[in-house]
C-alpha cells in the first residue's frame, strides 16, 4: 500500500531515495547512510525478517532487543484491533481510567516482586527513566530530605535518549552532544571485567567495582545521594555482565546508606535473562523498576515504572498532585497489546523454556565460539550475549581504533543473512525468546562463518 503517488509500491531504489531525502534516522551517521542507502525491512515472521529485495535474515537482535515473543503473533494484532474498535483512546489524567490500563497494572503487580504494586505508564524506556528522576526527587522532597537529589549511574550505561535519560546514560558521545549530563547526576565505572579487570579475578574485580559506589557516596555525602541506577546486564554499553558478587554488594551499599535502588529492566525484563526480571535473576529488591521493550514485545510503544511500596505509600499518603504525565500514559491499545503479550509469555511458558532448555543450549553453543582466533571472550546471560573481538587473546589487547573490526563483522553478518549488532568490537545478540535449538544451531553456524570471513579479511587465522 502506498500513499505516495509518484512511485510504485515496492521499489527499493525509490524507497532509498525518499528515505535519504526526507528521513532523519536515530543513532545514524546521516552522510554515510545517504551514500550507502538504507536497508528497507518490509515484513517479519517468527525469528526472521525480510528486506525489500526479498532477502531473509535471522534476527539475532529481536528488532532492538524487544521482540521477545517473535514476530507475527496474531493474538497481539487481534488485541490491538479489538481495543481500537472499543476504546481507541482515553487518558488517565484527572481521576479517569479505563479497563486496559487497570488490568495491565494489576497483571504487572502480579508478575513482579511482592513489594512492587504500582506502575506509572509511559510510552518508552526513555520516558520511564525521565519519570524515575522526577519520582526519586519528589520522593526525597516529600520525605523531608530535599538535599538528597543526586543519582549515581555508570559509564557505558544506556537509559535512553531524552534529556534526563541521556544524562543517566554513560555514553560519551551522548553527553558531548547537548551539554549533558544535567546537574545532579554522577557516574562511576562499570563492572567490565574483561576490559578493566587487569590482573584481578572476576570476584576480586566484582567487589572492587561495587565498592566504587560506596566511594562515590562517601565523596558526595550520603545525605546528598538519592539513588543508584543500573541495568542488571548493561545492554547497549556492550552486554557487560557483572561478576556474581557485584549486585549483592551494590544492594548492601544501597541499604546501608539509604540510597534508593533503581533497576532498569528495559532490556532484561520480560524474560531475557531466563527469569521474569533481571532483579529476580540477581535477587535484587529495587525501589523503582523502569520497563519497556519486552513489555509489548515492541508491537506497540509502551513503557512504565514499577514503583515500590516505600515510594508509593508516601505518594498516596501525601495527597498532593504529582505534576508529571504523558497524554498517552497507559494508552488503551498499547496496554491491550502488552496484556496479550504477557499472557503469551506466561501461558506458553516462554521464559521457563529459556531458563530450562534453550538458554542453557545457547550458552553452550555460544561458549564454543570462544575457540575462534578472533574471540577474546564469549559472555552473556540467558538470551543476551556478546563476543569480544580482540587483537590478542592472551594479553586481552583490543583493536585500534575501536569499532572498525566490529563494523566489518556486522556487515558480513547482514550479507550472509544474520542480524547481529556491533558495539565497538563486541558482537551482540539478543534474539527473540522463542528461538528453538534448531534456530540456535543456524545462528551459531552463521556467526562462525562471519567470524571466519572477518578473520580472513584481517589476515588472521
Contacting positions for ligand PLP (CB under 6 A): 65, 124-126, 129, 158-160, 231, 235-236, 264, 266-267, 292, 303
What residues does 150 pair with on adjacent strands?
225
What's the grid cell of residue 226?
538519592
Complex with ligand PLP: residue 175 or 393, whichever CB lies closer? 175
Q: Which residue is closest to ligand PLP by CB? A: 125
In angstroms, what is the minimal distance from the CB of 450 to ligand PLP? 24
Q: How far is the CB of 421 from ligand PLP (least distance, A)?
A: 12
- List Cβ neighbours of 163 (8 Å cut-off, separation of 6 or more): 130, 178, 180, 182
Measured from the CB atom, the residue of 292 and 451 that comes closer to ligand PLP is 292
Q: Which is nearer to ligand PLP, 292 or 435 (CB)?
A: 292
Complex with ligand PLP: residue 269 or 376, whichever CB lies closer: 269
Closer of 303 and 432 to ligand PLP (Cβ): 303
Nearest CB to ligand PLP, comparing residues 83 and 126: 126
Q: Which is nearer to ligand PLP, 159 or 365 (CB)?
A: 159
* Minimum separation from the CB atom of position 266 to ligand PLP (A): 3
Residue identified by cell 535449538 is 437
Q: How far is the CB of 159 from ligand PLP (least distance, A)?
A: 5
Give the nearest distance from C-beta 279 to ligand PLP in angstroms: 13
Residue 213 Cβ vs ligand PLP, minimum distance, rounded to whole Å: 18
Shortest CB 125 distance to ligand PLP, Å: 2
Amino acid at each position: 500500500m502506498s500513499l505516495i503517488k509518484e512511485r510504485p509500491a515496492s521499489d527499493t531504489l525509490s524507497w532509498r531515495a525518499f528515505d535519504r531525502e526526507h528521513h532523519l534516522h536515530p543513532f545514524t551517521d546521516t552522510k554515510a547512510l545517504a551514500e550507502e542507502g538504507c536497508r528497507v525491512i518490509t515484513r517479519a515472521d517468527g525469528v526472521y525478517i525480510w528486506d525489500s529485495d526479498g532477502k531473509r535474515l535471522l534476527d539475532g537482535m529481536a528488532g532492538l532487543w524487544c521482540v521477545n515473543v517473535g514476530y507475527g503473533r496474531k493474538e497481539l494484532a487481534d488485541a490491538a484491533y479489538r481495543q481500537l474498535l472499543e476504546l481507541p483512546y482515553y487518558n488517565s489524567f484527572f481521576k479517569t481510567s479505563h479497563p486496559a490500563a487497570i488490568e495491565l497494572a494489576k497483571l504487572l503487580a502480579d508478575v513482579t516482586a511482592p513489594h512492587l504494586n504500582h506502575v506509572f505508564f509511559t510510552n518508552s524506556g526513555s520516558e520511564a527513566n525521565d519519570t524515575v528522576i522526577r519520582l526519586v526527587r519528589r520522593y526525597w522532597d516529600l520525605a523531608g530530605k530535599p538535599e538528597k537529589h543526586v543519582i549515581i549511574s555508570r559509564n557505558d550505561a544506556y537509559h535512553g535518549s531524552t534529556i534526563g535519560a541521556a544524562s543517566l546514560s554513560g555514553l560519551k558521545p551522548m553527553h558531548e552532544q547537548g551539554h549533558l549530563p544535567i546537574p545532579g547526576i554522577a557516574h562511576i565505572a562499570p563492572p567490565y571485567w574483561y576490559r578493566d579487570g587487569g590482573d584481578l579475578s572476576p570476584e576480586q574485580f566484582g567487589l572492587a567495582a561495587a565498592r566504587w559506589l560506596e566511594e562515590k557516596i562517601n565523596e558526595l555525602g550520603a545525605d546528598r545521594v538519592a539513588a543508584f541506577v543500573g541495568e542488571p546486564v548493561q545492554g547497549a554499553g556492550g552486554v557487560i555482565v557483572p561478576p556474581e558478587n557485584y549486585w549483592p554488594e551494590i544492594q548492601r551499599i544501597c541499604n546501608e546508606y539509604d540510597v534508593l535502588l533503581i533497576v532498569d529492566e528495559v532490556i532484561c525484563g520480560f524474560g531475557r535473562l531466563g527469569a521474569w526480571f533481571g532483579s529476580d535473576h540477581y535477587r535484587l529488591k529495587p525501589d523503582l523498576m523502569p520497563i519497556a521493550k519486552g513489555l509489548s514485545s515492541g508491537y506497540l510503544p509502551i513503557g512504565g515504572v514499577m514503583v515500590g511500596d516505600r515510594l508509593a505509600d508516601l505518594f498516596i499518603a501525601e495527597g498532593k498532585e504529582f505534576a508529571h504525565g504523558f497524554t498517552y500514559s497507559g494508552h488503551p491499545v498499547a496496554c491491550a497489546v502488552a496484556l496479550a503479550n504477557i499472557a503469551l509469555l506466561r501461558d506458553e511458558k516462554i521464559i521457563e523454556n529459556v531458563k530450562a532448555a534453550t538458554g542453557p543450549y545457547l550458552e553452550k553453543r555460544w561458549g564454543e565460539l570462544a575457540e575462534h582466533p578472533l574471540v577474546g571472550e564469549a559472555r552473556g546471560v540467558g538470551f543476551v550475549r556478546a563476543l569480544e573481538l580482540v587483537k590478542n587473546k592472551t594479553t586481552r589487547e583490543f583493536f585500534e581504533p575501536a569499532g572498525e573490526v566490529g563494523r566489518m563483522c556486522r556487515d558480513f553478518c547482514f550479507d550472509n543473512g544474520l542480524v547481529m549488532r556491533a558495539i565497538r568490537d563486541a558482537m551482540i545478540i539478543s534474539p527473540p525468546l522463542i528461538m528453538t535449538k534448531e534456530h540456535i544451531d543456524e545462528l551459531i553456524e552463521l556467526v562462525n562463518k562471519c567470524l571466519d570471513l572477518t578473520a580472513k579479511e584481517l589476515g588472521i587465522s
